[in-house]
C-alpha cells in the first residue's frame, strides 16, 4: 500500500511499513507543529510503521518549537513500535534533529542521500 499526501511545502508517503516525510525548502516552520504533526499522529494511529525516513530541505534554522516537535515525534514513534528513523538533511540539521530523536528503543541515523536512507530503514 502506498499513500501520498502533499501539503504546502511538505509531503508524506506510507509505503509498506515505512513512513516518508519530505520537508521542502519553502515549508513554513509552523507546519511541523500543525499540519505535519496532525498527519504524523494520524498515520501512526492507523497504520503499521516500523521505520521513518525524514528528508529535510527546509532552509530556515529550526526554532525551539520545531525542536519540541522533533522530540515529541521521537517519543511517539517509540511508543508506537517504530524501530528506525533515518534523517536526510544537511550536516547541522541532521545532527540537531538526531539529538532530539534520542529515545530508548528507536535507532536513529543520518544520511546525505534519500535512497541510502530508505535502504537502511526498510525492514529485512
Q: Which of residues 121 and 16 earns the better pLDDT score? A: 121
**C-alpha to C-alpha distances, 44 to 19, 22, 48, 69, 82, nearest whole angstrom:** 9, 17, 7, 15, 9
Q: What is the mean pLDDT of the chain?
A: 88
Greatest Cα pair distance, the chain, in angstroms, is 36
- Cα separation of 9 and 87, whole Å? 17
Q: How open is the CA angle 13-18-24, to the nearest 5 degrees?
A: 40
pLDDT digits (tens, 9 = 90+) for 27-84: 888 888 888 889 999 999 999 999 999 999 988 888 888 889 999 999 999 999 999 9
Q: How open is the CA angle 17-82-110, to the nearest 5 degrees?
A: 95
What domains appear along the chain, each with residue ranges and CATH number? Answer: 2-121 (3.30.750.24)
Amino acid at each position: 500500500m502506498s499513500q501520498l499526501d502533499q501539503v504546502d511545502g511538505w509531503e508524506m508517503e506510507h509505503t509498506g511499513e515505512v513512513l516518508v516525510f519530505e520537508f521542502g525548502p519553502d515549508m513554513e516552520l509552523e507546519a511541523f507543529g500543525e499540519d505535519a504533526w496532525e498527519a504524523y499522529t494520524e498515520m501512526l494511529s492507523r497504520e503499521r510503521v516500523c521505520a521513518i525516513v525524514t528528508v529535510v530541505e527546509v532552509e530556515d534554522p529550526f526554532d525551539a518549537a520545531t525542536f519540541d516537535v522533533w522530540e515529541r515525534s521521537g517519543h511517539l514513534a517509540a511508543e508506537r513500535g517504530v524501530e528506525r528513523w533515518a534523517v536526510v538533511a544537511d550536516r547541522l540539521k541532521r545532527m540537531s534533529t538526531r539529538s532530539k530523536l534520542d529515545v530508548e528503543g528507536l535507532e536513529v541515523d543520518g544520511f546525505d542521500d534519500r535512497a541510502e536512507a530508505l535502504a537502511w530503514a526498510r525492514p529485512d
